[in-house]
Amino acid sequence: MEQGLGRPVPADLRDLLAETDGLRGEWGLDVIWPAARILAGNQQFRTFEDFAELYAPFDGLLFFGDNGGGDQFAYLADAPTEGIFVWEHETDTRRRVAGGGGVSGDRPVRNRSEPVWGVALLPYKR
């Protein structure tokens, strides 16, 4: 995935993907995408011609999930420790929604019993 993206993936996301290959929320929502979708999604955001006319460039973002309504979760590609951002597709706004704790927090996902980001998350089966 990192070779296809042309850049390293933040360590916490890489560790989470190694453990779960993404997380699903309720009703099958892909809160954190599997590695293959992270690669495909980022490639699409950077090459889809219609997006170039509608939105600011996405080169500075590393997308890794979404909220099911069109808004995408991302790291700043060159500064992943700055936190997690949401790109809002209706307004092309990019706003910080979480500090530098990353996607997995302090404990492995398989040991979590409480909701994260207000959603109960389930690991993908590998």
pLDDT, one tens digit per residue, over 88-98 is 999 999 999 88
Whole-number mean pLDDT of the chain? 82
Give per-residue pLDDT as tens, 73-113.
999 988 888 889 999 999 999 999 887 655 554 433 343 44
Tokens coding 85:
């951002």
Distance CA 122, CA 115 (A): 10
For residue 123, what pLDDT band results from cuts at 50, 70 and 90? low
- What is the separation, in whole angstroms, between the first and last Cα of the chain? 16
d(CA 81, CA 99): 8
Confidence check: pLDDT of 117 > 70: no
